[in-house]
A = this chain, B = another copy of it.
Amino acid sequence: MTTPLPTTFVAGDEGSWIIERIASVSGAALPPAARLDVREGLLGPSGAWVLRGVAGHPRYVQRAEQDALGRIQPPLGRAEATRAALIPIRKSAAWWALAQDERRAILEERSHHIAEGLKYLPAIARRLYQSRELGEPFDFLTWFEYAPEHAEAFEELVLLLRSTEEWTYVEREVDVRLVK
C-alpha cells in the first residue's frame, strides 16, 4: 500500500462486525461496545470509542520480503473471512529512542516478525495502520481477517509474536475479536 489510506474504527451500535470480546493484554483495555464499523477517513469521536490510523508504506520490509509478501498476501474482505481481530499496540519510549537499524534488528533478525507472519499467509489477511503521529493513544492498529477454520492458526501467530524480544517493548495492547 503506497497511497496512504486513512481509516477510523468506530465502536458502538453500528457496523458489520460484531464485537465478541475486548481483552487487555498489557495496560488499560477499551470500553465495551456491541459492534465495530470500519470507515474511510480520519473521523471525529462517535460511539463508545474510535481509533484512527493510516495504512501506508511499510517501515521495515526489505525488497525480497516485499516481493514475497506481494506474491502471497490476500486482500481484505474475502467472503469466507468472517473472523477478524483489531489489536491496537503502543510501544515504549525505549523503542522509539532506537535507531532504524536497531529497530529492524529486533523486529526481524531477532524476532522474525516478517518471516513468521509470511508462514500464515494467505490464510490470515493483515493490514497495519500507523497512529503514533496522529496523537492517538496507540502507535499502531493491527487488523487481521481469517476464516473460522484458521482460528487456531491465528491464535498461534498471536502467541508467537507476543513471545518475541520485540514484544518486550509493547507497553499497551488490547485484543478486540470480531465476527461477521
This chain: how many copies in the complex?
2
Given A62-B100, A101-B62, are A56 and B2 also a contact pair (CB < 8 Å)?
no
Chain A 45-69 interface residues, beta-carbon cutoff 8 Å to B: 54, 56-63, 65-66
A76 to chain B, nearest CB (A): 19
Contact with B along A115-129 (1 / 0, CB 8 A): 000000000000000
* Cβ-defined contact, B66 with A4, below 8 A: no
Chain B contacts of A135 at CB under 8 A? Answer: 4, 6, 42
Q: Which of A20-28, A91-99, A146-154, A156-164 contacts B (4 or more CB under 8 A)?
A: A91-99
Closest residue of B by beta carbon distance from A132: B4
Chain A 1-47 interface residues, beta-carbon cutoff 8 Å to B: 2-4, 6, 42
* Cβ-defined contact, B2 with A100, below 8 A: no
- Cβ of A102 < 8 Å from any Cβ of B? yes
Report the contact-size class of chain A (Cβ under 8 Å from the partner): 20 to 34
- Cβ of A155 < 8 Å from any Cβ of B? no
B6, B58, B102: the one contacting A63 at CB < 8 Å is B102
Query: Which 5 interchain pairs have the tightest Cβ spacing?
Result: A54-B133, A62-B101, A2-B96, A63-B99, A66-B99
Q: List 5 A-B contacts (CB under 8 A).
A: A4-B132, A56-B132, A62-B100, A63-B101, A133-B134
Interface residues of A (CB under 8 A from B): 2-4, 6, 42, 54, 56-63, 65-66, 93, 96-102, 104, 130, 132-135
4 more A-B residue pairs beyond the given contacts A6-B135, A56-B96, A63-B102, with a C-beta to C-beta distance below 8 A:
A2-B96, A3-B96, A63-B98, A63-B99
